[in-house]
Chain A
């Protein structure tokens, strides 16, 4: 069988029957409309899921900030610890220089150290 003969035979296999083309076109149109509607629904669902996720993240962030907001620096009502410098004073005189509160604090610090 030659190449031409073979190709001719193959062409004869290619039947081209008629069909209800209008019905087929309508089915394609319906199928496409259905697929598009489904795709839109899916996109909306994905968007809703991602928006929900974003909302959850935002809520988590707000809660975290709120929780950490209570752990601010201590208010300035308590005076910061300061060094008291005694210059050329005898131990008794040193104590006289201090207020009762300072003496108290020193005693506590001494006890802790001990």
Chain B
């Protein structure tokens, strides 16, 4: 990911990291810790678990760096790892309230109650998406990645990523419309 002209892209940072450059390691951490933490937070719903997932995903990604043929796919690797770790954590959890307190508490208090309720239902609907569709939505909507990069992270073709996104939107719309009708 080239953030701007002055900053080296992932491929260069990965190459430098492989040569033992500690600064490149720090640069990669600084670049990805925020989006990875936010991604994990949306999955796991609380700060402590999200931090843990973000840290583990980054450590695993660095450990695997030597196996990566293409340093540019570091981003795809780290997103995928974070999503998988988050899903595992959520799956292994004891059954609990579907929405964790940390995320619910971050809802703006000024929004009308009905709006808050709709957003809550939407968030719940997202958690019910199949993993592949959810990952595509997360990376496309929140990280604003192009479909080619989404496909890289989701380990599918670009067309498959687009189809997954389309199905996810359709599904979410159906859930929301059904609930609105039921009211």
Q: Which A residues fall within an 8 A CB radius of B? A: 1, 3, 6-7, 9-17, 19, 21, 24-25, 27-29, 31-32, 35-36, 39
Main secondary structure of the interface of A (DSSP, over half): helix
How big is chain B's contact interface, by range?
35 or more
The residue from B30, B56, B63, B126 contacting A21, defined by CB atoms under 8 A apart: B30
| Structural contact, B55 and A24, CB atoms closer than 8 A | yes
Give residues of chain B (15-50) contacting chain A, Cβ–Cβ below 8 Å. 25-26, 29-30, 33-34, 37-38, 41-42, 47
Is the Cβ of A31 less than 8 Å from the Cβ of B29? no
With beta carbons under 8 angstroms apart, the residue of A11, A16, A19, A28 that contacts B141 is A11
Other-chain residue from A6, A13, A19, A28 in contact with B58 (beta carbon distance below 8 A) = A28
Q: Which residues of B contact A (CB under 8 A)?
A: 25-26, 29-30, 33-34, 37-38, 41-42, 47, 51, 54-56, 58-59, 62-63, 103, 106, 118-119, 122-123, 126, 137, 141-142, 169, 172-173, 176-177, 180
- Chain B residues near A9: list those with CB within 8 A: 118-119, 122
Contact B51 A19 (CB under 8 A): yes
Task: Let me know if B173 and A3 touch, CB within 8 A.
Answer: yes
> Would A19 and B37 count as touching, CB distance under 8 A?
yes
